[in-house]
Structure 1
């Protein structure tokens, strides 16, 4: 397991904790953007794979998530989260000037990373989206139509075919196990509209990875967003039978190998 350390900075809504997996003289830097209700501690094996591949890896716990400050899972404007991620990119560039930066976002992190690419994509080498909330997310329509969000947590069995993943998620004290919060859901809705309105990412290389049995962020809805978002250099990898967290799936080694090959191709240009 790669060594890691933590940094803290003042974000838009309070203190943000950043996890760094260092690499001396890295070929590239990875900026990891996690999903709803979770935290960067769940990405140790992803970081290990990327560090071994030659990357230095950085990732923040978003406001209201993990070890960062803020009301749990409360986000009233994802533009603020994007701004916080930008501060982390500036931290990486201070540590590794001139090194190409690859942005990887999962689920809600895919929403954040997509908007980030629209705002700051000219400075990125590549973008990877995993099960991204982009396009049409029918789950959100159901949540917003309800008089109040259901008092149930996310079903951990929908994360992966590996039952150990769901069990670890359910037992993790840094994971949010309570209901969705309406202001956060409304912020999701506004950001989806903003991404659709702002359009594509031009020449920025994109890798989109998704499980075809993802019932949290179903594949068809994300495709509607990807179709209008990607530029001419993009790659799609859909994994048969895989659920929402493809980085935690039974074929995670295949998924991470696809990410490494994509990065190799981009860096070789």
Structure 2
């Protein structure tokens, strides 16, 4: 296992489709590869410092944005009306990495809603990626979306933080984080999520792009069976699947996170040119 090292993140801002987007970067010179992190709904990239540290120690320069309406980026909180715009903003971050590190392979790692965004990115810009990692991705069939869309008014019910990880400290930190959204879903965002899941299903295979899918068997937020239908829809020629027994939604924050991150770095090693 690579020993994580502490590297201070650099923050920079660019004009996104809907306003200013804040991006994060953890430098490494010279990099073996660029790791692009794509965070989930309601959170921000600052929650991935420990993931960046492991990837940094593995030889990567690590980067990624706070999506529009999330974290340090501009916009009404958690309001996204079109995830194609989010993919476009993500592409701006990848293009900047290409300018700074020409010819260096790019690996994209997306969690939950970020896994959905990363999968859509791979469908649009897959030729730019060397490998793709999807963690608990919102793909295929997410019954929570249908349930929310059926309601006249979306209730303000906070997330059960026990569903994040078997480590109770993860839930406590999530609840105390001022950059995490603790309010209800917004209907335009739910509609945009549903439209994007359907678009990904319709687009089909990722082709030859090496893809690692990691998921907790006890993921109650994004259940395994619904995601599996989406994985089957985009499955390409090179898919690796790792299901962790009893793990919950945030496998990068789980009690066996060292095992999970070790599997990620081993997958990357197998696929770097």
The residue matched to 1:139 in structure 2 has which SS? helix
CA RMSD of aligned residues (A): 0.6
- Distance in 2 between residues matched to 1:12 and 1:75, nearest whole Å: 11
Q: Structure 2 unaligned runs (5+)?
A: 1-5
Give the structure 2 partner of residue 41 of structure 1. Answer: 46
Give the structure 1 partner of residue 114 of structure 2. Answer: 109
Matches within 5 A, 1:60-79: 60-79=65-84
Provide, for residues 200-238 of structure 1, a one-character-per-residue CA deviation record: whole Å limited to 9, x for no partner: 110000000000000000000000000121211110000
The residue matched to 2:182 in structure 1 has which SS? coil
TM-score (norm. length: structure 2):
0.97
- Distance in 2 between residues matched to 1:221 and 1:165, nearest whole Å: 25
Matches within 5 A, 1:103-252: 103-252=108-257
Give the structure 1 partner of residue 27 of structure 2. Answer: 22
- Distance in 2 between residues matched to 1:11 and 1:224, nearest whole Å: 32
Q: Structure 1 unaligned runs (5+)?
A: none
- Distance in 2 between residues matched to 1:149 and 1:26, nearest whole Å: 45
TM-score (norm. length: structure 1):
0.99
Equivalenced residue count is: 268
Farther-moved stretch of structure 1 (140-149 vs 215-224): 140-149
- Runs (4 or more) in structure 1 with deviation over 3 Å come to none
Select which of 91, 97, 105 maps to 1:92: 97
- Distance in 2 between residues matched to 1:139 and 1:189, nearest whole Å: 10
- Distance in 2 between residues matched to 1:71 and 1:235, nearest whole Å: 37
